[in-house]
Amino acid sequence: MRFYFVDKITEFKKGSSIAGIKNVSMTEPFFTFHFQRYPVMPGVLIIESLAQLAGLMIEMSFEPGCYKKAILSIVDKTKIKFMARPGDRIDMKASLESLSEKGAVCETSAAVDGRLLTETRLTFALMDAGGVYDKYLEDERLALIDTLMRDFNSRGEKRE
């Protein structure tokens, strides 16, 4: 089973920045145990949401045919200021600080109703995914990107 914690990409600048949203729904499976009488989104999943958003931006910053997989390796300078609850919409942003063939560093933030939820610095190792290519997983990945980027054309420009 795969868990996707980005519901939509709202801004995208190739090689620079990305923004997206995560709608927190009471139907999320983690609410069964976290916590039954006071459901809150686990902080680690908020960080995972930011990592998924930043990872997509990093992977889409390379030219077509250069398939790199962004692997989260360091989470730094993180403080979660309050807990996200069912019904919240988390607005997420990531900006690329550095990018090379070996890795990338991003500054990320998340907010609910304009209130800062967290900021964190994420470092990714980049793996040449050609050696572990799986057609099914790649097709699934491309379908996910098409869904998340539905408001953008193939050049990453916002559709009117």
- Catalytic residue numbers read 34
What are the start-end ranges of the E strands in the chain?
Answer: 8-13, 17-23, 68-80, 89-99, 103-112, 115-128
The values of phi and psi at residue 155, to 5°, are -95, 5
- Hey, what are 91's tokens? 């607005």
State the Cα–Cα distance between residues 45 and 58, nearest whole angstrom: 19
* Residue 144 burial (C-beta neighbours within 10 Å; 0-12, 13-18, 19+): middle
Residue at token pair 């709608």 = 23
